[in-house]
Structure formats: structure tokens, C-alpha cells
Amino acid sequence: MTALTLHPDRLLPADPEQRRLARAIFAEIEHLPIVSPHGHLDVALFVEDEPFADPAHLFITSDHYVVRLLHAQGVPVGDLGLVPRSGGERASGREVWRQLCTHWGALAGTPSRLWLEHELYELCDLRTVPSADSADESYDALTARLQEDDLRPRALYERFGLDVLTTTDPATADLAMHAALRNDPTWKGRLLPNFRPDGVLDPAHPQFIENLARLAEVSGSDTSSYRGYIAALEDRRRFFQRNGATAADHGVPLTTTERLSGSEAEAVYERARTGRATGAEVEAFRGHMLDEMARMSAEDGMVMQLHIGVARDYDALYAATYGPDIGQDFPHAVDFTRTLRPLVSRYGNSDGFRMVLYTIDETTYSREIGPLVSYFPGLFAGPPWWFLDSPDAMTRAFVALGETAGITKLTGFVDDTRSLFGIGARHDVARRVCAGYLARLVAEHRLPLDEATKLAVGYAYERPKELFKV
């Protein structure tokens, strides 16, 4: 069995001079507090603060990155702990863990491997590389380790040095768990909601009509009219802000941001809420409502995050069988420049407007996103996301966006994680890559070391805290 190790210079440049500079920069940002302004954790984790029971569910089943990579090796997703919607017996944690150990080599070179190594070594004290031979031994060791108090959710929050952590919540959420945590005198952290209204903005959403009824119930506005619908959305935004929200998140399919006239919006909404909208009307309504969300953001100051360019639930059979978020969402091309022109022409210069553009098509960094954020004061480039949150892709993003728009037009790192265990690992990787990129600029005499260090501190901590108003 091979020893599991973490090299102190991992991900830093191979060139000795650049590595020396990167070490100096990284030393100033390694232990800065973490701001996590967009993620998908369940607030109940921190309310209940129970130990994580099963390493297989924690590191594999609940991580769609790992599920995707192992499924690509021919492992049925049922063998990775997923259960069909129709019901059935879940694979045992030990058997699921054996799948990861058997296929450990298939993760080589991926960010998932980097994150897992960090989590297993730093948090769980595992010192043996996962393998088929060591699978049972490591599973038993991890199961025991997870029961210790220092790996409970609240202890991890403190261990990671989290300054603030956010969840992502539908527009109709009651946020009761957030209130319970906020009112708990034993809770010392900050956990804020993010406003995610996709389910009430997209007429193609399978629960759109049902969601509108729920929206009317929680807002007290009659959503049978377009006017009442808009009032309900404005009410929910105010409710989220009263509960600490500073940002909204949007992931609807997008082909236009043209604004409909008042009468057009009313007519299309009437057909949409009764399930009669055509495909073209659905697209037009999505674009119109994204403009409405931008208008509201310009007025109430909530940061608008745009996650587009993803073909979700691509594998129709598996999506129907197992549901969403199992690793079968894929990138597709998006024309940011032309699609967003109507919206950013209206709001991109507004003092109160901030929009963050995320992409999983890195060709748009230098072609579209970089140029757009280099002009509009209200636009910012989100960090490499999803398929791109890997060391080399992060470096390419720094190069493309840095020389087009400047490093200060990047939001800083946003982990977008569904794994509490992975937060420290993801920020560690991002900070190392940032230090390496800036070290090259210093070595090439394009920046002095003190300025590069200041930029690194901004990227790692100050900028996300300021930009997301947390």
C-alpha cells in the first residue's frame, strides 16, 4: 500500500524562481478567512450538527463530480449509492466505497482527486492511498473518524475559518431553518440564503404552475394576474433580504433578454400559468423575466448571478430514473454578447446593479465575458465553474480575463459546492493557482511583489466579501 501525502508545493510553479515567489504570495493568503457567497449546502446540517454517518455517501454518492467520473468507468450509478425514484434498496456504503478505491486511478489529474486527497489527508487523517486492497480498512477507519466531534458541521465551519457561508433556496422557501439557526445562541457563524427563483420564472419547469400557487400562498399576492405575479416576486425578494440574503442566482435556459411590452407580458404570462404557452413564448418569457430580475436587482441591490450554458439532465433515461444532480449535466455554447445586450444596455451602467457571469465554456473568457466586464461597471466575471474549476482551467481564466479586464474584475473564488467537507480543499486549490499565476507576472517584471500579494488577498478574501455585500 502506498502512503497518501500532500506536498507543500502542490500546484505551485515548477520554475524555481516563480515557485519562490508563489510561496511568498501564498503564505499571505493561505489562512485568510473563507467567504463562500454561493453554494448548495443544507442549512439543516448546522441546525442539527450531527456527525456524518457514512464516508461513501459523503465522498461519493452526494458528490456529482465523483459519480460522473466513476460512471464513465462503467460503474452503474446504483452501485454508487443512488436509489431510483421508484424506490429500491440502497447499495451498502462499504460496497460504494470499494468502487471508489478500485477506480482511484481513474481520477488522476482531475480536481476531484485533488479535493479528495486534501479532505482524506487533512480532515480524516487517512495516510494510505485508496485502493482495492485497502478499501475495507480505510472504510472502517473513516467511519470511526467521522464520529469525532471535530468533524461535525459546526466544528468544520470554524476549522475552515469561514467568514460567511450561503445556501441556495427557491423563491417559495420559508427559510425557517435559517431563522432557527440565527436564533440559536450556541451558533456563532453566519449562514445566509441566496434567492433562486428559477422554479417560478421558467414556464418549462415541471412544477411551474404548482410553484405559482405556492408563490401566491407565501407572498399573499394573487399570482393569477401578471401584476400580482410581479408583486409576489418583489415581496419574496424583500423577505429574503430581511433574512440576510444579498444575492440572487439564476440558471434558466437563455436565448434572449429582450423586454416584452406590458400587454405582451400579461398575455404570455396568462398562457404560461395555464400551461398553454408555446415554445417561442416560453423563451420570450424567460428573457423578459431575466430583465425583470435585473430591474429588481438594480433597485434593491441584490447581486445577480447568472449561471447559464448548461444542458441539464442530459441523459433522459437516467434523469427520469434517478432525478437531477447526478453528474449528467453538460456544457453548451452561449452567445453572451448578443444575448445579454438588451439587458446590460439597460442596467450595466446603473450604480446599484451588479451581475456576475459564470460560464463552463472557457472560449467565452477572452471572446465575450472579458470584454463585457472590461466595459460595464456593473458586470463581473465569476470564477471558473463546474467543469472549469480545475487548476489548469483556472490558470487559463486568470490569463484570459486578467489581461482583458484586469484581475479586480474577477469576483474572487466562489466554490459553488454541495460538500461541506470540500470547501477548504477547493479554496486551497484556488489560492495556490492564484499565487502561481501572480508569481509569473512578478517573475516577468509585470508586477511588483507587493502589488501581486495585494491582488491575491483581494481575490482570496476581500473582493468576494465586498462584491457580494457580506
Residue pLDDT, tens place only, 320-369: 999 888 888 899 999 999 999 999 999 999 999 999 999 999 999 999 99
**Span 96-150, pLDDT tens digits:** 999 999 999 999 999 999 999 999 999 999 999 999 999 999 999 999 999 999 9
Q: How confident is the model over 245-260, as a mean pLDDT?
A: 95
- pLDDT tens sequence across 8-47: 999 999 999 999 999 999 999 999 999 999 999 999 999 9
* Strands 303-307, 34-36: pairing kind: unpaired
**One-letter amino acid for residue 102 of the chain:** T
- Residues in contact with 453: Cβ distance below 8 Å, sequence separation at least 6, in sequence order: 24, 25, 28, 438
Q: Tell me the C-alpha distance between 392 and 298, whole Å.
A: 35
User: What sign has the CA pseudo-torsion 46, 48, 50, 52?
Assistant: negative
CATH of the domain at 139: 1.10.2020.10
Grid cell of 462 as nine digits: 476581500
Is 135 within a domain? yes
Per the domain annotation, does 91 fall within a domain? Answer: yes
β-strand partners of 233 = none
* pLDDT value at 1 more than 70: no
CA–CA distances in Å: residue 279 to residues 89, 209, 268, 285, 338 = 39, 16, 11, 10, 20
With respect to residue 120, please indicate whether it lies within any of the assigned structural domains: yes
Calculate the average pLDDT of the chain: 96
Task: Give the closest residue to 302 by CA, choosing from 201, 220, 408, 196.
Answer: 196
In a domain, 80, yes or no: yes
Cell of 393: 482551467
- Whether 277 and 268 have beta carbons less than 8 Å apart is answered as yes
Shortest CA distance to 439 belongs to which of 5, 2, 77, 16? 16
Mean pLDDT score, 314-324: 91
Q: Which three cell numbers stand for residue 6?
A: 500532500
Evaluate whether residue 127 is within a structural domain: yes
Predicted confidence (pLDDT) per residue in 186-224, tens digit: 999 999 999 999 999 999 999 999 999 999 999 999 999
pLDDT for 366:
95
Domain annotation covers residue 147: yes
DSSP per residue, 20-35: HHHHHHHHHHTTSPEE
* Mean pLDDT computed over 218-237: 98
Percent of the chain with pLDDT over 70: 100
Q: Is residue 146 part of a domain?
A: yes
Total domains, the chain: 1
**Does residue 401 carry a pLDDT above 90?**
yes
Confidence band, pLDDT 50/70/90 cuts, at residue 59: very high
Whole-number pLDDT of residue 19: 98
CA distance 260 to 266: 9
Q: What is the pLDDT of residues 436-460, one digit of tens each?
A: 999 999 999 999 999 999 999 999 9
Q: Is residue 238 part of a domain?
A: no
Residues in the chain: 470
CA-CA distance, 335 to 363, in Å (whole number)? 11
pLDDT above 90: residue 418? no
- Rounded to whole angstroms, the Cα distance separating 55 from 139 reads 7
Distance of CA 163 to the CA centre of its chain: 17
Q: What is the distance between the alpha carbons of residues 405 and 390, in angstroms, rounded to a whole number? A: 21
Burial of 32 (0-12, 13-18, 19+ CB in 10 A): middle
pLDDT reading at 425 higher than 80: yes
The residue-averaged pLDDT of 254-258 equals: 94
Per-residue pLDDT at 222: 97
Range of the domain at 147: 51-151
- Given a cut of 90, whether residue 244 has pLDDT beyond it is yes
